[in-house]
A and B are shown apart, each in its own frame.
Chain A
């Protein structure tokens, strides 16, 4: 369903094939020397890294390291004071969040941001808003173009529902769902937007082992089936190391490591940041 989004990367000299048979293409998003300040507080200090087509890129770090701020920079919600965001080979001008969404970015939130009173189906339908052209009046009358449009979009949404196996809660109001399922609905809404770059802010926070396993499976499946590039923030080290192709490690707004999970695991700075270091 999202094939159209896949850029042809065959010609890219940087592209390579992973052990499990996925093709990782060239750079999709390049963050250059990003610095983000809130008044006197420096949240992100001169960070550069890139995200490549088709990979799962994790951002990790202790609490307050600036991970969520970083994600907000990527999603265009925060505008960094210094540095540039390059997306698909072009420098990205300051944009409103909906414009970013139109470019093929979608995200989930650390604290679930769903509409509690609406059904799962309606919530996921909101993910399709960018694809709907009819206005409110037309939709209210639900005739002709509006009807056709809704049916088309509903079909896409149903495919996402099927993919994430949430058929049984299709008509349930989101407010009544347990936490793990809400997270899955959030992922569904993000997927409904058919993103080429998916940002996940702590998709597994507060889940039990089984729910984490399910969620990991879904993240891998999304990446695998649709070729969606994924950037995620996560605290659970086991999950991060298993899922991601490359990891960025942040601490106090600075980048202290970048590389494959193995490289990061053996990086002394990273170990120090996580385990603490003896001061003598």
Chain B
């Protein structure tokens, strides 16, 4: 313990780190938020003062040590301050998912017993007021955005700035006690309580200590050499452990700047304006971005289209990995490095101009010959002068040229112009998507983690990045794999307990501190990287005893841009079947291109040509699944395309967008029966919940299709 403290430099809590940052980086920006079209910023010193005032204000309202303070809203500096302010008062912040419906919020607020709730805006306040009818321990509600709040009963409702003002006035009276409470915080006191998304059953409150948070932040920051100069965009749900670690843990440890977008809708524009150097996004975000890039490239001019594909192919051949990856940044570039950079780009620009001119002329001739159909016949070529070089040098120059023409502008458009380290986690990422971003020179890596581990279990080190593994154990993490394939870990980030739930704590974490992840996986013998197959409890056996790993197949299906979500069934059955959700953006665009008219999601999902395309995908996946001896039983024999998207509001998915298998099985049981009884279509009526909590229902008759499977023992296609 003493050693750990020394390692952390005696900064045993977030408020202590804040004080250090004020001392060291007082005038550097700590928080930025776009408001009224302008990036407003706060230095560390200013942020610390805001936090101090809020904390004093909360003290004046009577906050006690150990109280839970619920925090609900979109990512805003004010709410991050609220978390630190709560810690300063000796209380424990409990961030909640802002898009949770009232029932979900009621459970969590009831479970944590919060006396104080800090809300972002009216929408959240309304939900809390609704909950207050049933839960009586909520005493004070604080809101930040004043809009629409004028006519509310303010006897137990306070404006954030009023609280701060109150704190400012009362500082003589309360500062002493607050300093005492702050000094009492040590490595073992609770830093934050985060609720799991609840893939199975009710959410559980994971208690994380200062040791968990600070050690994890420290180890991971050192692992990627994060510096005070980083910029991150805080846009992921505040209730999620990842956001807490990146936007609070690591930001406080390193002293870097946290940028908050203007609203959820402007996230992409804000991303571009900030150009973060360190970035995290779930695979879905990368997928959406790639889809939109591809759609826009299809709409672009012939020359641009040809050049884009020419250079993307080149970058994907492994050159991007070799020449594109950002170097570890020096504190200040020296003269030699600056000259090198200029030289690099001067060469690139010269060749780039030549490429454009040569290809434009060639395209002109091609157009004369093929007319409108030119896109299918014309391919861009390298400029002639590039032939002066050969081998590596040639590749190097060509990549620089591509940087000027394609990769650079594209990265800039996506907001990845300055990115040095990017992570993705939560789900498997498609090989194509992964390759696309990496070949652009974006150092996108994967990590594997969970709330109970304070995020990090395994991470991919620079230069050892693969699409199908999740990396080596993170610094300080020990991993053990049980006989049934389940992964266990032990680390400084291992959670303290589940709040008010000793049974769950005991069944997850043993006396020696080993935690069961619930995931099954194995270490790749060649490189020592961990590979995840599926949730351990989802890995089952089929009727004939073959292994059933649904996630493995679902991920392969989801790698197709057309398929948004897939749910595979087959545990204890004699064959596998699947539900499929189409991706409206990708399929809608395809429909537009092929003159297919549709009026609704449902109609598009049931269109015979869509079904044909999906069937092709399923059959290709079957072939690739059949290659793996162990998993060949998981080929999909029959499938259907669902008439509605699986939705968190209906409880079919968690708020982090993971499928709740049990709920889906239950809601769509007639469809599953139909899949196994050989019917060719099935009627279903489903209840849906709208965002405002009202209910409605959708009816549909779904077509069920058979897919060709590969008979692995004979290697022949069989129907």
A residues in contact (CB < 8 Å) with B: 20-21, 121, 154-155, 158-159, 161-163, 165, 167-168, 170-171, 221, 224-225
Q: Tell whether, in the assembled complex, residue A158 and residue B148 are in contact, meaning their CB atoms are under 8 Å apart.
A: no
Interchain CA distance A21-B148 in the complex, whole Å: 13
Interface: B37 (CB within 8 A): yes
Please, which residue of chain B has its CB at the minimum distance from the CB of A154? B37
The stretch from B155-163, B244-252, B261-269 touching chain A is B261-269
Residues of A within 8 A of B150 (CB): 224-225
> Given the interface contacts A158-B36, A158-B37, does A167 sit within 8 Å of B151 by beta carbon?
no
Smallest beta-carbon distance A177→chain B, Å = 13
Given contacts A167-B263, A168-B266, A171-B269, 4 further A-B contacts (CB under 8 A): A20-B151, A155-B36, A162-B35, A167-B265
B residues in contact (CB < 8 Å) with A: 35-38, 147-148, 150-151, 262-263, 265-266, 269
The 6 closest A-B pairs by CB, nearest first: A168-B265, A158-B36, A168-B266, A158-B37, A167-B262, A21-B151
Residues of B within 8 A of A121 (CB): 37
Describe B's contact surface by its main secondary structure. loop
Residue contacts A-B, CB under 8 angstroms, 28 given? A20-B151, A21-B151, A154-B37, A155-B36, A158-B37, A158-B38, A159-B36, A161-B37, A162-B35, A162-B36, A163-B147, A165-B263, A167-B37, A167-B262, A167-B263, A167-B266, A168-B262, A168-B265, A168-B266, A168-B269, A170-B37, A171-B269, A221-B148, A224-B148, A224-B150, A224-B151, A225-B147, A225-B148
Interchain CA distance A123-B232 in the complex, whole Å: 33
Residues of A within 8 A of B263 (CB): 165, 167-168
Interchain CA distance A268-B147 in the complex, whole Å: 41
Please, which residue of chain A has its CB at the minimum distance from the CB of B690? A210
Smallest beta-carbon distance B267→chain A, Å = 9
Residues of B within 8 A of A170 (CB): 37
Interchain CA distance A168-B267 in the complex, whole Å: 8
Smallest beta-carbon distance A156→chain B, Å = 10
Interchain CA distance A223-B199 in the complex, whole Å: 44
Interchain CA distance A170-B269 in the complex, whole Å: 11
Smallest beta-carbon distance A127→chain B, Å = 16
Residues of B within 8 A of A163 (CB): 147
Interchain CA distance A163-B269 in the complex, whole Å: 19
Smallest beta-carbon distance B152→chain A, Å = 10
Smallest beta-carbon distance A66→chain B, Å = 36
Residues of A within 8 A of B269 (CB): 168, 171
Interchain CA distance A154-B36 in the complex, whole Å: 9
Interchain CA distance A171-B34 in the complex, whole Å: 15
Interchain CA distance A50-B151 in the complex, whole Å: 27
Smallest beta-carbon distance B159→chain A, Å = 15
Smallest beta-carbon distance A172→chain B, Å = 10
Residues of B within 8 A of A162 (CB): 35-36
Smallest beta-carbon distance A26→chain B, Å = 22
Please, which residue of chain A has its CB at the minimum distance from the CB of B267? A168
Residues of A within 8 A of B266 (CB): 167-168
Smallest beta-carbon distance A178→chain B, Å = 14
Residues of B within 8 A of A161 (CB): 36-37
Please, which residue of chain A has its CB at the minimum distance from the CB of B36? A158
Residues of A within 8 A of B35 (CB): 162
